[in-house]
Chains A and B, each alone.
Chain A
Amino acid sequence: MRKVSDEVLIVDNVHKYFGGIRAVDGVSLKVPRGSIVGLIGPNGSGKTTLFNTISGFYKPNKGRIMFDGRDITGLPPHRIYKLGLIRTFQNPRVWRSLTVFENVLGSAKDQRGENMLLAMIHATWASQEKKLAKEALHWIDFTGLAPVDTRFAPEISGGQMKLLEVARALMGSAKMLLLDEPAAGVNPVMARKLFGGIERLRSEMGLTFLIVEHRLEILFDYVDYVYVMHRGRIVAEGKPEEVAENPVVHDIYLGG
């Protein structure tokens, strides 16, 4: 295996079973560096399970996952985060007792003050904290959360929570983001704005995206490549326009 490959994420024949249920049944996919790849499929097809397996929340029963030339199979989530692979959640998970600003700030990598003993010695982390605060404000401005940045996280709207999740991932210096339904429950205008932002991040910072999304009409305008999952397997793949005309995909979505 080459140390640095063009594929930043390689999922190789991954299986995840829950008892007798084969939630992910031999999925292989590749995400090239700097691309936006979509992952679609009906409810219960195993997309979120695959995300949970890639991000370390589940250990796969079989198969390998490579990120940026490293084997990350079975690593715990916080180690995978440190490598630069950061996920968001289908239902936004925010820290409810913290403000939007702190939600973003607290997601930063390698904070010295998180050490139990160093936390007592203010001088060891204060300057880093100030630097990170500036960075956090930058990402808040970028995602357009500035008007609500001193609100407590549960007080903001669902769409803003989606943006907050993206801002947190950016704060964690992500190389690649796994977005689980970023446009679900968001109005079409805001959803388009969100995908526009994703495109900007890809072109300006070279970030890579793997996106699960049900709203194909929006997704297909932005992605380079699409994988279609059904019953734990990849049943179709290709460029969005090819997938849109694939009869297999029509069957799945129209009750096959």
Chain B
Amino acid sequence: MNIISFLVTYLSVAAVYALLAISMNIDYGWAGIPDFGKAAFIAAGGIAAAIVATRIVPPLMLHMHPANPSKLSFFTYYNGKILPAITAHPIDTWIVFIISILLGGIIAAGFAVIFSYPAIRLKEDYLAIALLMAAQIVWLFLRVYTPIMGGTMSMTLPSPSFKPIARALFHSTSPSAIDAAKALFLWGLVGVFLYYAEKQMNSPFGRMLRMVRDDEYAAAALGKNVARARLESLIVASFLAGVAGAVYVLIHFSSVNPDYFMPDLTFFVLTLVLVGGVGNNIGSIIGALLIALLYRASYIFGTSLGFSWGSYLYYMIIGLAILITIFVRPNGILPEKPVRTPAWDVYALVRGKQPWFLRRILMRGRGKVNTGEKSE
């Protein structure tokens, strides 16, 4: 395998993981919600993509009958007629993509409201169990209820075409140019997620979520509506998870199958955040880059060993990564940063000095650092 193509594929995979990790960082990292139902919210993106490709785009744009995945004739009709019709025009594949990510986000936000409703007022464990159960229900429901994505038979999806982008950027439509365009596009999307997350977090809203996470009783006593704050963070995070889910199926897999959203996906995404840094968006991206590398490398190495257990080597390596993180840097590779709002400008103006940690962010929790101003 040549190194460039390995790198390009690796970067695309890492970008998709980074999208999922940023979404996990919002509810788990900022608001402290143990979102063990992330797989269900990611599945919402898959549901959206399947619905858009079978029932929304064919009648509205192609003047074709919608396809019903539960029918026997589905695959002849869908694979034979609809897919070629959509993929014939690159612009149509992008329309499918854009409708899917929006619809995926909306469905996921709706899921967040429904699934958290029974337990949003309760303490962490109950909410965690309720969300874990939701992920299990969504996965099993998609397996047995065939009209959405045809049950366990993988359904091919019209992946957005990167040919025009590759042609514009690299003046080439070779497979490697297309892969590079895909990786660039995905990292652009990561940039959008990161921009959004940083902006949302460095605001009084982000501060409120930390208050609710650190001490919900104090937050309630000082005027924060705890249940509402939790629900809002869950909605925001789930919307992003739905968008990321649509990207996951349309670009990463180009197909959809309920087993992509098995509940253990949640814990994979959680690993990215734990290793990268809980509460730090850049940390989540670094976690995604690191774990994706470990994953691909250990998979390739493991299968080349020739043992039957070689392909499971990955689990051991990831487990080791979690343990090392917990022992060496319990807050993750990049720990949480203070909330930055204009209030600190006022502080600097009135007190005539910058708060010590704005220059020493990375040193937090690494022992007492003598910065001169910290001591009185």
Q: Check A87 against B338 for contact (C-beta < 8 Å).
A: no
Assembled-state Cα–Cα distance A116/B112 (Å): 16
Q: Check B215 against A78 for contact (C-beta < 8 Å).
A: no
Q: Check A151 against B223 for contact (C-beta < 8 Å).
A: no
Q: Check A133 against B351 for contact (C-beta < 8 Å).
A: no
List A contacts of B218 (CB < 8 A).
89, 93-95
Least CB separation from A134: chain B residue: B346
Q: Which of A95, A122, A150 is within 8 Å of B211, CB to CB? A: A95
Q: Is there a chain B Cβ closer than 8 Å to A29's Cβ?
A: no
Task: Name the residue among A102, A115, A150 with the largest chain B CB count within 10 angstroms.
Answer: A150
Q: Is there a chain B Cβ closer than 8 Å to A215's Cβ?
A: no
Q: Check A82 against B210 for contact (C-beta < 8 Å).
A: no
Assembled-state Cα–Cα distance A119/B202 (Å): 9
Assembled-state Cα–Cα distance A88/B222 (Å): 9
Assembled-state Cα–Cα distance A207/B338 (Å): 33
Task: Name the residue among B336, B345, B346 with the largest chain A CB count within 10 angstroms.
Answer: B346
A135: shortest Cβ distance to chain B, in Å?
10
Task: Name the residue among A114, A122, A172 with the largest chain B CB count within 10 angstroms.
Answer: A114
A18: shortest Cβ distance to chain B, in Å?
18
In the complex with contacts A116-B232, A129-B342, A150-B355, A93-B217 CB distance below 8 A: yes
List A contacts of B350 (CB < 8 A).
133-134, 137
Least CB separation from A138: chain B residue: B350
Assembled-state Cα–Cα distance A133/B342 (Å): 9
List B contacts of A95 (CB < 8 A).
210-211, 214-215, 218-219
Q: Is there a chain A Cβ closer than 8 Å to B356's Cβ?
A: yes
Contact code string B329-360 (vs A, CB < 8 Å = 1, else 0): 00000001011011111110011000111000
Q: Check A99 against B223 for contact (C-beta < 8 Å).
A: no
Q: Check B207 against A106 for contact (C-beta < 8 Å).
A: yes
Q: Secondary structure at chain B's binding surface: helix, strand, loop or mixed?
A: helix
In the complex with contacts A114-B205, A119-B203, A99-B343 CB distance below 8 A: no
List A contacts of B210 (CB < 8 A).
95, 97-98
Q: Which of A86, A99, A149 is within 8 Å of B222, CB to CB? A: A86
Q: Check A137 against B351 for contact (C-beta < 8 Å).
A: yes
CB contacts between A and B, total, < 8 Å: 140
B345: shortest Cβ distance to chain A, in Å?
7
Q: Is there a chain A Cβ closer than 8 Å to B225's Cβ?
A: yes
A147: shortest Cβ distance to chain B, in Å?
4
Least CB separation from B213: chain A residue: A97
List B contacts of A168 (CB < 8 A).
222
B242: shortest Cβ distance to chain A, in Å?
16
In the complex with contacts A119-B200, A132-B343, A137-B347, A98-B207 CB distance below 8 A: yes
Q: Check A78 against B220 for contact (C-beta < 8 Å).
A: yes
Q: Check A101 against B347 for contact (C-beta < 8 Å).
A: yes
Assembled-state Cα–Cα distance A77/B224 (Å): 9
List B contacts of A149 (CB < 8 A).
351
User: Which A residues between 203 and 252 are near B, CB-CB below 8 angstroms?
Assistant: none
Q: Is there a chain A Cβ closer than 8 Å to B316's Cβ?
A: no
Q: Is there a chain B Cβ closer than 8 Å to A195's Cβ?
A: no
Q: Check A106 against B208 for contact (C-beta < 8 Å).
A: yes
B140: shortest Cβ distance to chain A, in Å?
32
Contact code string A121-156 (vs B, CB < 8 Å = 1, else 0): 010011001101110110000000001111100000
Assembled-state Cα–Cα distance A97/B223 (Å): 18
Least CB separation from B350: chain A residue: A137
Assembled-state Cα–Cα distance A125/B346 (Å): 14
Least CB separation from B215: chain A residue: A93
Q: Is there a chain A Cβ closer than 8 Å to B1's Cβ?
A: no
Q: Which of A78, A89, A105, A133 is within 8 Å of B223, CB to CB? A: A78
Q: Is there a chain B Cβ closer than 8 Å to A57's Cβ?
A: yes
Q: Check B225 against A116 for contact (C-beta < 8 Å).
A: no
Assembled-state Cα–Cα distance A109/B341 (Å): 17
19 residue pairs A–B, Cβ–Cβ below 8 Å: A55-B221, A56-B220, A78-B220, A89-B218, A93-B218, A95-B214, A96-B214, A97-B214, A98-B211, A98-B339, A112-B204, A113-B204, A116-B235, A119-B199, A119-B204, A126-B342, A133-B343, A137-B351, A168-B222
